[in-house]
Amino acid sequence: MNYNDYAVSSLELHLFFGRIMKEHALFLKAGFTPVNTSFSQRAEYFKNEFEKLLSRAITLSDGIIGHKVLKSDELVTDFTALAEKQTEQFTGISINKNLTQRELKLRSGCSKCNHNISTEKYRQVKRLNRTALNLLDGLITFKENILNNVLNCRMFTMNYPLLIEHIIREAKLYRKYVSMLEENGCLSEESMKEIECFWNKIMMEHAMFIRGLLDPSEAELFNSADSFAKNYSKLLETCHKAQAQTMTDESLSETIKFRDFKQAGTQGIEQCKIRSVILPLLADHVLREANHYIRLLKS
């Protein structure tokens, strides 16, 4: 096993997905009604545990993670700090905002260097991966329980059922990658088709969520979001029909445009210039996922 590849791949994964998971828990908690106190407490538990995991990943990552990941704006953006502050004020849900400040100070490793990851750091990363797998098993089960309750009229939440399905799929992808690292010591090469099919679906659903969470008076933004949803639906249809070939250029072009739309939207929401029921952190969250997908398409 190449300790360096194993450690760097693991840490880059946790820096991106660990933050995504803690925010999923926050969004779930923000969507519950007072009658579901136990579910709110469980969501708070997962938020706190993924914050701890992210904190450990940040400590282990400094000076060794890849430059492209660090500069991709998929870990944090220029909007993240304010989005967290505003979201904490709006929801009353505490957020460890120090994690964002620490991530902004992270340094990448030298691309031409072999970092000679120590046995102790390797063991620390391995413990982190095991912690992530245990947390993900619990979080996936929790999300599936919520979805089952909602679909069977045993629970009301402000989160769309499709959004809950959406965040289950992202958690399962994260778990799949961590399992891969533990089984093989590296991330096996996925076909670009598989990556595009997954993330084009995610982007399509982002557009649908944005469309549905905008105030009815925001007709122009609604139409733009609707247009992105339709464009990704076509890309997804093409992706599923393809054999081995991909639509990478088309996906990249569309996602750059969608990223720009999300970026303007995040800024507009933070500045209270857009009418919506979109939390600032949710706007920043979907922006980071677009940045992540762009990096994958470019690589």
Average confidence (pLDDT) per 10 residues, the chain, 299 residues: 89 98 98 98 98 98 95 98 98 98 92 71 97 98 98 98 98 97 86 90 98 98 98 93 75 97 98 98 98 95
Q: Is residue 99 part of a domain?
A: no
pTM recorded for the entire structure: 0.96
Domain closes at, from 170, 187, 204: 187
Same domain, 135 and 12: yes
| Measured CA angle at 212 (ends 208, 218), to 5 deg | 115
The predicted pLDDT at position 243 comes to 62
Same domain, 156 and 274: no
| Selection from 281, 73, 27 nearest residue 170 by Cα | 27
The predicted pLDDT at position 35 comes to 98
Q: Is residue 222 part of a domain?
A: yes
Encoded amino acid at 134, one letter = N
129-135 contacts: CB < 8 A, separation 24 or more? 129/10, 129/178, 129/181, 129/182, 130/182, 131/53, 131/56, 132/14, 132/18, 132/53, 132/174, 132/175, 132/178, 133/175, 133/178, 133/179, 133/182, 135/21, 135/46, 135/49, 135/50, 135/53
Same domain, 204 and 153: no
Q: Is residue 102 part of a domain?
A: no
Q: Is residue 86 part of a domain?
A: no
Same domain, 163 and 43: yes
The predicted pLDDT at position 109 comes to 84
Distances (CA, A) of 167 to 62, 136, 270: 28, 12, 23
Same domain, 168 and 65: yes
Same domain, 66 and 169: yes
Domain closes at, from 165, 187, 209: 187
Q: Is residue 24 part of a domain?
A: yes
Same domain, 39 and 159: yes
Domain count, the chain: 2
Same domain, 176 and 265: no
Q: Are 7 and 172 in contact (CB under 8 A)?
A: no
Q: Is residue 295 part of a domain?
A: yes
Same domain, 64 and 162: yes
Distances (CA, A) of 257 to 80, 228, 250, 287: 20, 9, 11, 11
Q: Is residue 117 part of a domain?
A: yes
Q: Are 190 and 158 in contact (CB under 8 A)?
A: no
Same domain, 194 and 278: yes
Domain closes at, from 129, 157, 187: 187
Residue-number span of the structural domain to which 54 is assigned: 1-71+108-187
Same domain, 166 and 225: no
- Residue 174, domain CATH: 1.20.1260.120
Same domain, 240 and 148: no
The predicted pLDDT at position 117 comes to 84
